[in-house]
Amino acid sequence: MRVGVEIGGTFTDLVWMREDGTVTTGKVPSTPLQVEQAVLDAIVAAGVPLDRIGHFSHGSTIATNSLLTQCGAMTGLLTTEGFRDVVEIGTHDRFGNIYTSFYNKPRPPLRRRDVREIAERVDGAGNVLTPLDEEQAWSEIQALLDEGVRSIAICLLHSYRAPQHERQLRDLIRRRAPHVDVFTSHEVSPEFREYERTVTTVVNAFVGPMVKGYVDRLGNRLREGGYDGTLRIIQSNGGIMPASAAGENAVRMLLSGPAAGIRAAIWFAQRNGISDILTLDMGGTSTDVAIAKNLDARIVPELIVDGLPIRTTALDMATVGAGGGSIASIDPGGFLNVGPASAGAFPGPACYGRGGDLPTVTDAQLVAGLLRPQRFFGGQMELSMDRARDALGKLELSGGLEERADAVLRMVNSNMAAAVRLVSTARGIDPREFTLVAYGGGGPLHGAMVADEVGMRKVLIPWSPGISSAFGLLVADLIVDVVQARIELLSDESLNFDSIEELKALCVTEAEKLDLAEGTYEVQAGLDLRYAGQGYELTLWRDMKAATAREINDVFQTEHKARYGYARGNLPVQVVNLRARIIQKSRSKIETPVRAGDGVREAAVIRLAGKTIPATFMSRSSLLPGQSVGGPVVLEEPTSTTVVPEGWCVSCLESGDLLLEKL
């Protein structure tokens, strides 16, 4: 039996796959002050027998929250003499803020006085120019310890090519100060680009101890409950890794929950014979959007989190501050804004009755009539209409409360539509031939309206959409990425496949560390390629041993034209990195139950798209496979609410998933 638990900003979701493949779900409020408690609450609520569980997978935003709130370990940095200000200088990239007169560069969680220079030097070819002086190094390390530093990042010049000095420093610290956490760039991010490599290592050192402490506490609590298996964590690339590797590789968890949701969306689309999808995951704090043509979600080598470039593989997605807890306000110009500030789980939206008094998207949904107070969260949590109306009354907008609620909803729909365009039309991809997969607590409620804004005509609502990210934990593959920097022109002479074989051998070593039995996983090889001198690269995953440099070049030209709209076949192509990946495929065969409901239909008036209209409310489970109904209809279920606007029709597919289609 398997269990997947994903912690969101407002709720924590659980999916339990029983021995016969059927699933049970659970949903409880998140506990921000003691994060792991929500996991245990969900286990108790669902009645999971931990002593009989074979695999326990988990997704959490703890790494992201630690970075964004600056609540990590006090961190120091050891760098090569003369390179103290690499993180201060940064790059010229302003991340879209080119017109801001008073732009401030993003700063890593590190004080300048906690950056210490080490007397050593290695050149770009890996030759030692200045040997490491351990006594000089220890005097700098001791100065950091005297400052109160308890986590140290080591990033020396060209260590991606020759890491021996980083290893010396790491071993020195572990011998003389074993209580200090230490992270080296050749283990965290063994790639060229000094600024990005340094920032990634520093961020890993900052959030790593927090992540390790959390994972250890959760693992201990699970063992106390009877679970004796391996705790597994979802990574930003959509793959699972053992929790034992999470502390050393905390940056791989920065988009943990959203990545699981994308894996679930692909699984649900595949079982319904849908090939091209856009995903819309609306939770309590934000909405995440991704694209997967032919059900292949693009993986990128870098994330931007709080303005900081993090070199780690991740599923390509766009995130906007548009969730159920997003706060509506009036800006100085008198215009309505929704998000990115959020009421979170506590105090939450005003209608939760936990002390919040600011108007949020959930309050607007309630006042607009799309949510019914007694039916929210499957009836487990009654919402306060009076508090929601009081909160919306604070918005200085014309019209009645219902009109204000509608304005908030239309604004948040516009924000989400902009994110959809960012991953589709902004890249030259027409979204109209794609199906929007809407999930999360709020995705099904807004899915059809967002689709309308971008011209899409089909929306897939998965089974139990409010727990899709937790569901994705059960179907995700185990993935471990290994990368090795190598910058040279692509040619038959330079394409030395012995290096790729060495990388594959390193993967085998990593698999042994993770207790993966031989024959249960495969190893893929890849190349990062670019035009000589280009500022970015493309990754090609294929059997490189059976290809010539010319064949690889032809594939690169085709991929580059497809991705960026042009190719320059006359320009030389460089190899930038060698990559390898361990993949252990998920073998889960899951059956989602389709149960008949009571069939009761109730009429009510709702405010939608600028109009007050009558609508039919019904239980989602009362719509059986093969049945259809035209909008306006509101389908209620414990984890979410699906709104079918006027001019749309909803059908229950044989799988039990819903398909909304524009008439």
CB 309 within 8 A of CB 324: no
What pLDDT is attached to residue 64? 80
Chain center to CA of 598: 37
Q: Please report, as a single letter, which amino acid is at residue 197.
A: R
Interstrand relation of 277-282 and 435-439 (parallel, antiparallel or unpaired): parallel
CA distance 291 to 303: 16
CA distance 90 to 651: 52
Class of domain 478-584: alpha beta
What pairs with residue 56 in β-bridges?
3, 231
Which residue in 351, 476, 446, 389 sits closest to 10, CA to CA? 351
CA dihedral 193, 198, 200, 206 (to 10 degrees): 180
Sheet holding 75-80, edge to edge: 115-118, 75-80, 151-155, 181-184
Q: State the angle between helix axes of 134-147 and 164-176 in degrees (0 to 180), rounded to the nearest 10.
A: 50
Which residue in 462, 449, 471, 353 sits closest to 26, CA to CA? 471
Query: Residue 153 corresponds to which tokens in the numbers above?
Result: 């990042």
Query: Residue 368 corresponds to which tokens in the numbers above?
Result: 């607009």
Cis peptide upstream of residue 349 (ω within 30 degrees of 0) = no
Q: Between vectors from CA 80 to CA 75 and to CA 82, what angle results, nearest 5°? A: 110
Query: Residue 250 corresponds to which tokens in the numbers above?
Result: 């905390």
Secondary structure string (H, E, C) spanning 226-277 = CCCCCEEEECCCCCEEEHHHCCCCHHHHCCHHHHHHHHHHHHHHHHCCCCCE
CA distance 85 to 72: 22
Region of 439 on the Ramachandran plot (φ > 0 left; ψ -120 to 50 alpha; else beta):
beta
Q: What is the DSSP letter of 52?
A: G
Show the low-confidence residues of the chain (pLDDT under 70): 9, 95-97, 345, 378-379, 494-500, 542-546, 596-598
List, in order, residues 6 or more apart from 614 with CB less than 8 Å away: 603, 604, 605, 606, 632
Other beta carbons within 10 angstroms of residue 117's beta carbon come to 16
279 φ/ψ angles, rounded to the nearest 5 degrees: -105, 145
CA distance 635 to 651: 12
Give the predicted TM-score (pTM) of the model.
0.87
What pLDDT is attached to residue 414? 93
What pLDDT is attached to residue 63? 84
CB 650 within 8 A of CB 390: no
Burial environment of residue 293 by CB neighbours within 10 A (0 to 12, 13 to 18, 19 or more): middle
The separation between the first and the last C-alpha atoms of the chain, rounded to the nearest angstrom, is: 42
Which residue in 28, 27, 29 sits closest to 343, CA to CA? 29
What pLDDT is attached to residue 546? 61
What pLDDT is attached to residue 170? 95
List, in order, residues 6 or more apart from 164 with CB less than 8 Å away: 128
CA distance 623 to 629: 8
Other beta carbons within 10 angstroms of residue 24's beta carbon come to 14
Interstrand relation of 231-234 and 55-59 (parallel, antiparallel or unpaired): parallel
Interstrand relation of 458-461 and 435-439 (parallel, antiparallel or unpaired): parallel
303: three-class secondary structure by DSSP: strand
Complete DSSP assignment for 553-615:
HHHHHHHHHHHHS---TTS-EEEEEEEEEEEE------B---------EEEEEEEETTEEEEE
Helices (H), 463-589: 468-475, 497-513, 549-564
List, in order, residues 6 or more apart from 417 with CB less than 8 Å away: 450, 453, 454
463: three-class secondary structure by DSSP: coil
CA distance 211 to 244: 11
Residue found under tokens 């001791």:
142
Residue found under tokens 């310890």:
145
CA atoms within 13 A on the CB side of 554: 4
Query: Residue 627 corresponds to which tokens in the numbers above?
Result: 């049945």
141 φ/ψ angles, rounded to the nearest 5 degrees: -65, -40
Domain edges within the chain: 2-67+211-253, 71-202, 478-584, 601-662
CB 462 within 8 A of CB 468: yes
CB 370 within 8 A of CB 641: yes
Chain center to CA of 208: 17
Q: Please report, as a single letter, which amino acid is at residue 388.
A: A
| CATH 3.30.420.40 is right for the domain spanning 2-67+211-253 | yes
Chain center to CA of 463: 21
